[in-house]
Structure 1
């Protein structure tokens, strides 16, 4: 029997990093390469899935949150330099803040699940989901409220059954095809004009995510710091390259 194709957590990290780099190179140096932007849309859902998976599997959620906080702080100036061309830009925060808000939401949802009262579980869970969206939007983190919800989608629909996959698909279509909006591609099909939001390409991340079967792959402290350090490092390098090019 042939082995089924599989991607480990390590593989997904590398794939998401490559797609993110492609997207950010386009942003910084090649804004006319639309295909790079489309490919880059796949990165965020993969990272969001890995955050939800990491939350469930980590041995210490407190340490996990502290690492995210440290690198969110470290990454903010490089992010602002790339996104706005200045070291401080309060109107858009890097994606690690999005993940931190989602992490807090998932912890609240875990506490809600432990409550023996169904009504209390429902109220706390619904309130957490709403507050997560509002916090992501109010603090202007990357991908805003829909970005926080993307992580929660993979928390609520965790697993590889058809119901979980259908839930992931429908939610990502809703979040990326409608809520996030943004520029669109148009194409004429006879008398019809088709409009496809570029952000909707994010849904194409799902087939890669579905190849994950719970295996971590190469791991350890060096690998972990490589993954965390890549984010601020590549932002800083691209910001410098963009400044030099201009």
Structure 2
């Protein structure tokens, strides 16, 4: 499966999740399948980290997307255009990528103090700013970074780490309907990834970025 296919599947699953949140609350099956979306996006963000020509430009693009998406996200989640108590998932991805960069610096014996500060600041920001999936979302990106690979060992570690994050940190245990535990079902899909880009051009790249704020804004307006 190419990154194009994986990304489009993730967008479809996210759309299902947000449809249940706004227009079809009785269809809990949409919420269930929607739990697979974030791990797919987290995995693709980590792959983007390894394949981007410029990490700085990659992060700037994500930061712009996070800013553009904040009002649609607020409208979708809280019904208000301004909500300082909950930030969108692009912020989570940015914090996770910053942590990956910092851990790579520490491993290479470079800028250790700065890197440690970045890691602490990233996790602190995730918790205080209440980004989507909080610090657990940041951990998800780190897990895909730390256990990147197609070996059986890597896959077992991915399963264990995502299972731990989903069950213990995101409420999979102790709830009548532990939807978040279903996130581990994203792994067999991820394991189909073949490393190829698939269909890729400027238009597709732009559509992939803008889908996130656009679909949230449309659903939020339809739900009024």
TM-score bracket, normalised by the shorter chain, equals over 0.9
The answer on whether the counterparts of 1:49 and 1:154 sit within 8 Å (CA) in structure 2 is: yes
Post-superposition shift, 1:33?
1.1
Note if 1:218 corresponds to 2:199.
yes
The answer on whether the counterparts of 2:62 and 2:94 sit within 8 Å (CA) in structure 1 is: yes
Cα shift readout 1:124-152 (whole Å, capped 9, x = no counterpart) = 87776555333211111000000011011
What is the RMSD of the two structures over their aligned residues, measured on CA atoms? 2.0
Q: Distance in 1 between matches of 2:118 and 2:214?
A: 33
Question: Of 140, 149, 157, which residue of structure 1 is paired with 2:139?
Answer: 149
Q: From the superposition, tell whether residues 202 and 167 of structure 1 become closer, same or farther in structure 2 (CA, over 3 Å).
A: same
The answer on whether the counterparts of 1:132 and 1:149 sit within 8 Å (CA) in structure 2 is: no
Q: Distance in 1 between matches of 2:211 and 2:173?
A: 28
3-state SS of the aligned residue for 2:130?
A: coil
The answer on whether the counterparts of 1:22 and 1:36 sit within 8 Å (CA) in structure 2 is: yes
Q: From the superposition, tell whether residues 225 and 28 of structure 1 become closer, same or farther in structure 2 (CA, over 3 Å).
A: same
Instruction: Count matched residues.
Output: 224
The answer on whether the counterparts of 1:184 and 1:198 sit within 8 Å (CA) in structure 2 is: no
Alignment of 1:176-191 (within 5 A): 176-181=166-171, 186=176
Note if 1:20 corresponds to 2:14.
yes
Q: Distance in 2 between matches of 1:183 and 1:203?
A: 14
Note if 1:134 corresponds to 2:108.
no
Note if 1:209 corresponds to 2:190.
yes
Higher strand share: 1
Match of 1:80 in 2: 74
Q: What stretches of structure 1 move > 4 A for 4+ residues in a row?
A: 123-131, 182-186
After TM superposition, the score normalised by the length of structure 1 is 0.85
Unaligned segments of structure 2, at least 5 residues: none
After TM superposition, the score normalised by the length of structure 2 is 0.94
